[in-house]
């Protein structure tokens, strides 16, 4: 059986081979941690964005959207704290000349204890067979306990160092745990230094005094600086939210795992403005609302977990990540943060403007608190692709690669195929396609055998294939083949639209999120 790492490699090649993701400027050998979405990738990505946008702005009458610019006045980033504190602790290995994030090296070390525990559990499962009681084993095995204790000791030391911003202690942990560079295999480390992740550029020509500006590292600040504009022009009453989808840029030190950590990526963020004192209730509510949105996709509830933060930013009073089980472990896809009134107060201070809310119920003015939900489009894309990618052995001895994508997110919803390229079948197939194309992304394919055409559509996750044969011209019926079950059904062309719509409509997903 292929290891998770091998499966992930195959997924990356699949993404390229089938037009989902290409390395950026590939003809020049690419650019580190920057990717382009191809013809199928962009459709999948747009569907993810649409699902999020509609869930935010249609299912909540008190959430509206904006589209702020990437460039912002540089004082924005001073006020938000990004100029002074948007740093990662980096460390270099003198032998390999490679640069790493010190926190990531330590987190990888902690993950080794988890892996050892899982190995013990698997060994015991094989030894005891059906009689194996996993929970009891985890609670009583001395080896599991030993590894758990070691992990917790490391975790406590690491969390304290991160909270205290103690760079010398981070280095000491790396030395004490004898963490080696995966490339050189040596422990020849430099000191740990802070590295600011913002990209900067200049606006205006040097002659008239160019201004240093930043490419936004998060979309959230575009929302904060527009809080008053939206509140006033939309006559919004607390609680209300502002949603935004857009590009963000970070000069990541360790850029790896494909589109998981990129230097240019896209975020979907929503800032929910509330009355101070109500934040922990709203934080709990948004955790539930967001996990429901993820689970409605049907990728498997066991693939998600919450991970509460040990290290809270100085302005936050609660924070959690929604993690998804990728082939390389549970990883953050979305963050939910209770950010107090930090950002609005800072912008009020730096701009000299009063940024408050007059509460008509209590007749008082105050700076609203904020709950933020922040999800990376690209990480969401990756989680969907990882869950969907399947190599299947079929009963007839053949195999197929199929993307079992949630139908509402699939790039192409239906492929219409004439059985042969003659006898009026292509014309009939195009007639069907031309009817469906106003509501669905439809492809037409007449090349190769039907079997090969099915495989091509399986590989991009198309939920339905529709075959037009000679009988179609007489009985007005077509054969519809389902991607997941591979079952074929003959139905009347009049019923085609409803059948497809029932399965692929984003509205059905939204109803699930709204009603559950």
Between the alpha carbon of residue 213 and those of residues 87, 190, 203, the distances in Å are 17, 31, 7
Asked if residues 326 and 177 have their Cβ atoms less than 8 Å apart, the reply is no
Shortest CB 40 distance to ligand GAP, Å: 20
Cβ atoms 267, 245 nearer than 8 A:
yes
Judged by CB under 6 A, the residue of 376, 406, 418, 463 near ligand GAP is 376
Q: Which of 40, 80, 147, 267 binds ligand GAP (CB under 6 A)?
A: 267
# chain residues binding ligand GAP, by CB under 6 A: 19
Closest distance to ligand GAP from the beta carbon of 111 (Å): 18
For ligand GAP, give the closer residue by CB, 102 or 262: 262
Question: What's the sign of the alpha-carbon dihedral 320, 259, 402, 513?
Answer: positive
| Region near ligand GAP per CB under 6 A, out of 17-25, 81-89, 116-124, 261-269 | 261-269
Per CB under 6 A, the list member of 45, 250, 413, 428 interacting with ligand GAP is 250
Give me the least distance between CB of 265 and ligand GAP, in Å please.
Answer: 4
Measured at CB, which residue is nearest to ligand GAP?
376
How far is the C-alpha of 104 from the C-alpha of 98, rounded, in Å? 14
Site for ligand GAP in 315-354 (CB under 6 A): 332-335
DSSP 230: H
Residue with tokens 């003659």: 422
Q: Which stretch binds ligand GAP (CB under 6 A): 108-116, 159-167, 375-383, 427-435?
A: 375-383
Q: With contacts defined by CB under 6 A, name the span among 147-155, 263-271, 305-313, 499-507 that binds ligand GAP.
A: 263-271
Helices (H), 32-188: 39-57, 75-80, 82-85, 102-128, 134-140, 142-163, 167-176
135's CB contacts (< 8 A; 6+ apart) are none
Segment interacting with ligand GAP, rule: CB under 6 A, options 293-301, 367-375, 460-468, 487-495: 367-375
The one among 20, 51, 240, 265 contacting ligand GAP by CB under 6 A: 265
Q: Does residue 269 touch ligand GAP according to CB under 6 A?
A: yes
Enumerate residues 6+ apart whose C-beta is below 8 A from 324: 294, 303, 304, 330, 331, 333, 379, 383, 386
Q: Assess 483 for contact with ligand GAP (CB under 6 A).
A: no
Q: What token pair was written down for 267?
A: 């975020």
The yes or no reply on residue 261 touching ligand GAP (CB under 6 A) is yes
**Among residues 68, 220, 230, 468, the one that binds ligand GAP under rule CB under 6 A:** 220
Least Å distance between CB 310 and ligand GAP? 14
Among 55, 91, 223, 262, binds ligand GAP (CB under 6 A): 262
Residues near ligand GAP (CB under 6 A)? 218, 220, 250, 252, 261-262, 265, 267, 269, 332-335, 372, 374-376, 378-379
């Amino acid at each position: 059986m292929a290891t998770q790492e091998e499966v992930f490699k195959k997924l990356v090649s699949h993404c390229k081979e089938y037009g989902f993701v290409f390395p950026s400027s590939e003809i020049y050998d690419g650019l580190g941690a920057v990717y382009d979405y191809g013809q199928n990738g962009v459709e999948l990505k747009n569907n993810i964005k649409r699902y999020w946008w509609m869930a935010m702005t249609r299912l909540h009458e008190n959430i509206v959207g904006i589209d702020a610019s990437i460039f912002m006045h540089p004082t924005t980033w001073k006020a938000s704290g990004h100029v002074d504190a948007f740093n990662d602790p980096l460390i270099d290995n003198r032998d390999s000349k490679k640069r790493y994030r010190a926190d990531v090296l330590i987190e990888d070390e902690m993950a080794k204890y988890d892996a050892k525990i899982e190995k013990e559990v698997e060994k015991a499962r094989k030894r005891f067979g059906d009689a194996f009681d996993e929970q009891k084993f985890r609670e009583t095995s001395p080896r599991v306990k030993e590894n758990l204790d070691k992990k917790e000791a490391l975790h406590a030391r690491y969390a304290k160092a991160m909270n205290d911003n103690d760079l010398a202690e981070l280095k000491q942990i790396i030395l004490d745990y004898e963490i080696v560079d995966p490339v050189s295999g040596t422990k020849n480390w430099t000191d740990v230094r802070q590295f600011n992740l913002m990209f900067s550029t200049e606006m205006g020509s040097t002659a008239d005094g160019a201004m240093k500006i930043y490419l936004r590292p998060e979309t959230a600040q575009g929302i904060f600086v527009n809080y008053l504009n939206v509140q006033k022009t939309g006559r919004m009453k607390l609680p209300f939210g502002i949603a935004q989808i857009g590009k963000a840029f970070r000069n990541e030190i360790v850029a790896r795992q494909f589109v998981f950590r990129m230097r240019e990526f896209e975020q979907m963020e929503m800032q929910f403005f509330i009355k101070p004192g109500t934040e922990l209730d709203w934080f709990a509510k948004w955790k539930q609302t967001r996990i429901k949105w993820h689970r409605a996709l049907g990728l498997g509830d066991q693939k998600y977990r919450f991970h509460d933060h040990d290290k809270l930013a100085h302005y936050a009073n609660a924070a959690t990540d929604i993690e998804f089980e990728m082939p390389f472990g549970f990883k953050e896809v979305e963050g939910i943060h209770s950010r107090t009134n930090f950002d609005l107060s800072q912008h009020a201070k730096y701009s000299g403007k009063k940024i408050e809310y007059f509460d008509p119920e209590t007749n008082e003015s105050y700076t609203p608190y904020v709950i933020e939900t922040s999800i990376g489009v690209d990480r969401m894309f990756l989680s969907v692709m990882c869950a969907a990618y399947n190599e299947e052995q079929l009963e007839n001895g053949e195999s197929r690669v199929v993307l079992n994508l949630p139908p509402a997110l699939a790039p192409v919803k239906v492929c219409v195929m004439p059985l042969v390229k003659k006898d009026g079948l292509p014309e009939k197939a195009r007639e069907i396609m031309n009817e469906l194309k106003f509501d669905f992304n439809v492809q037409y394919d007449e090349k190769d055998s039907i079997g090969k055409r099915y495989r091509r559509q399986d590989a991009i996750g198309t939920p339905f294939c529709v075959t037009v044969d000679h009988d179609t011209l007489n009985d007005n019926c077509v054969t519809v083949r389902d991607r997941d079950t591979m079952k074929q059904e003959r139905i009347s062309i009049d019923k085609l639209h409803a059948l497809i719509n029932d399965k692929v409509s984003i509205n059905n997903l939204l109803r699930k999120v709204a009603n559950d």
